[in-house]
Structure 1
Amino acid sequence: MEHTPQPASAFKILTATQWAQFEADGVFQGAPVDVADGYIHLSTQDQVQGTLDKHFAGQDGLIIAEVDLAALKDVIKWEPSRGGALFPHIYGDLPMRAIIGHLTQIKA
């Protein structure tokens, strides 16, 4: 079995309201689904479109924030999810200092 190195960054998709609150607070404690599951869901670059299609279809004004995984190495766990693929999950809060970029998605 070939081991693929983990990427240096991953992505969190937020609504405009969640992003505004994140900017105001400087920390993101999770969307309702994150709170319910006990961790903050992230997607790798290759997984973002699938996450948009599955969980955000038809929504607009979404923010896709790039997260520096090295800044959160102690609270990141790679766990199987959709189709058995490994997804990065944050077991803790997401601080704004870990965001290395973001873009606004007009529509999912």
Structure 2
Amino acid sequence: MIFHITEQSIWSAAQSSGDYRAPSLETEGFIHLSERSQVLWVASQFYAQTSGLLLLGIEPAQLAAELRYDTVPGHGTFPHLYGPLNLDAVVQVWPFEPQANGHFVMPS
């Protein structure tokens, strides 16, 4: 399973439209994803004081768009989805709120 952090409002809009398009798809050409071991680092770097978040669990074998693993200089290799995320590839959705100290914990 791979993961994506998003805002509840963006995920709700995807439910209406039939597919998920993160803002980065328009600005960078892909949707940022993470391996399990990368999720907490991404959350602390980019979402530390953000509420209203969800963590999407995605089954890579069900993706309709191209999945690539790209090197992020200084940070390793990350999965990126080069197209919209088809909703049937999302197999789990968890609330993903920072704790009082701003840190995140992976859902069980």
Q: Does TM-score exceed 0.5, indicating one fold?
A: yes
TM superposition outliers: structure 1 runs of 4+ over 4 Å: none
**Residue equivalent to 2:14:** 22
| Gap regions ≥5 residues in structure 1 | 1-8
Q: How many residues align?
A: 99
63-72 or 80-89: which moved more? Answer: 80-89
Deviation of 1:100 after TM superposition, in Å, equals 0.7
Percent identity over the alignment? Answer: 24
Per the normalisation by structure 2, the TM-score is: 0.83
Contact 2:30 2:80 in 1 (8 A): yes
Query: Partner residue of 2:48?
Result: 57
* 1:60-71 aligned within 5 A: 60-71=51-62
Matches of 1:51 and 1:35, distance apart in 2 = 20
Instruction: Give the CA RMSD over aligned residues.
Output: 1.6
Where do 5+ consecutive residues of structure 2 fail to align?
Answer: 99-103
